[in-house]
Amino acid sequence: MEAESAVQEAWTRDGSRAIRPTHATRPTNITRTAVHAGAAAVAITAVLTLPSRAWLIAIPGAFAVYAWSMEVARRLSPRVNDVLMRFYAPIAHPQERHRVNSATWFGTALLILALFATPPAMIAGCAILGVADPIAGIVGRRWGRHRLRNGRSLEGALGFFVAGTVTAAFALGAVGAGSVGMVLALAAVCALAGALTELLSARLDDNLTIPLVVGTIATLATPLLG
């Protein structure tokens, strides 16, 4: 997720928040980025290899139950929250101490996609989130000059679109989702939708919104493939 702003939230060790002006950008968390991409890769592999829709629902369903159970436990017990935040410190953002974790939102998105989306749509949603989203952050932090909204930059959004189109095209092509022209067109539309969703996602976590928006568009377009 790209997060660049002249005003950043500073978080203390106990989770309290202060607003301070700065021109610095949030540093890249390589571990979080790797886990982000790895989780998407595991999800894509599951779609390609699991024998039935029931398995596709059961696995993200089990993870969603675990994740939301942890979220409830964190709210009920500050001690549990401290323990979990220390355990997940290498991949968690400090502000997630008092917010729903991004992984919880991603697991929720996977469950919803497993329930309602077509397999190619699930693959497209996971591929775009897993690759395009972190690349947008890297590009935005390194080269972002033209600010748009919610801390995003034009350069980051373009990086998202290009990376998302390429990644989704390879993913959809690998499963024989349709002709080359149709796959490229769908990949570009999904990547554009994902980039706009990231840009507009302020109140909702983009680990939830990006896969759902991309998956919905790809599912609606599935009858056109062939």
pLDDT band at 129 (very low <50, low <70, confident <90, very high): very high
Length of the chain as a residue count: 226
Gap between the Cα atoms of 202 and 97, Å rounded: 18
Q: What is the pLDDT of residues 195-210, one digit of tens each?
A: 999 988 878 899 999 9
Residue type, 20: R
Residue ranges of domains in the chain: 7-224
> Where do runs of H (alpha helix) occur along 50-153?
53-76, 78-87, 102-116, 119-127, 133-143
pLDDT reported for residue 224: 67
Asked whether the predicted pLDDT for residue 194 surpasses 50, the reply is yes
pTM: 0.81
How far is Cα 195 from Cα 163, in angstroms, rounded to an integer?
10
- List the alpha helices (DSSP H) in 131-205: 133-143, 154-174, 180-200
pLDDT in the model for residue 214: 94
pLDDT exceeds 60 at position 81? yes
**For the chain, counts of helices (H) and of strands (E):** 9, 2
Tell me the β-bridge partners of 153.
147
